[in-house]
Structures are given as C-alpha cells and as structure tokens.
C-alpha cells in the first residue's frame, strides 16, 4: 500500500523495503536496510533475495561481531 504501481522512482517517503517506514538515508533505504542491501540480503527494489534467511544469519553474525552501533 502507499506506492503507486509502475512508478520506478524512489520517493523519499519511507524506506524501499516493504513495510519499513523509516526515513531513507541512502539509495532509498534506511540505514538498517541499506546495510542489508549492501550485504546482498535485499534487492534494489526492496525485495528479499531467495536465500535471504541464509544470508541473514551471516549478516546477524557480522552485526554481532561489529557490535550494535547506534551512531547517528
């Protein structure tokens, strides 16, 4: 809901990831989902990749190693 079908452009309204209402920071993603995008968990369209679950484990481990950073 919310987005017009067929509009390819990303409007800086909310994160591209479905259901995420966080204000986007980069590439239309919020910081959290931008990280996931960089990690290859989600596509540029905001859709999860087919092996999202598997990759998310690696991503979670990466985040845990790095520690939770809440820097603005």
Give me the least distance between CB of 64 and Zn ion, in Å please.
Answer: 20
Given the complex with Zn ion, which of 26 and 54 has the nearer CB atom? 26
CA 50/CA 54 separation, integer angstroms: 9
Of the candidates 5, 3, 36, 56, the residue with the CA atom closest to the CA atom of residue 27: 36
Distance between CA 23 and CA 31 in Å, rounded?
9
Closest approach of Zn ion to the CB of residue 29, in Å:
6
Where does this chain bind Zn ion (CB under 5 A)?
Answer: 15, 17, 20, 22, 30, 33
Which of 20/49 has CB closer to Zn ion?
20
């Amino acid at each position: 809901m919310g987005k017009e079908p067929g509009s390819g452009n990303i409007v800086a309204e909310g994160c591209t990831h479905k259901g995420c209402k966080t204000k986007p920071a980069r590439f239309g993603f919020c910081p959290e989902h931008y990280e996931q995008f960089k990690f290859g968990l989600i596509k540029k369209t905001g859709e999860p990749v087919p092996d999202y679950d598997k990759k998310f484990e690696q991503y979670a481990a990466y985040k845990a190693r790095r520690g939770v950073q809440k820097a603005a």
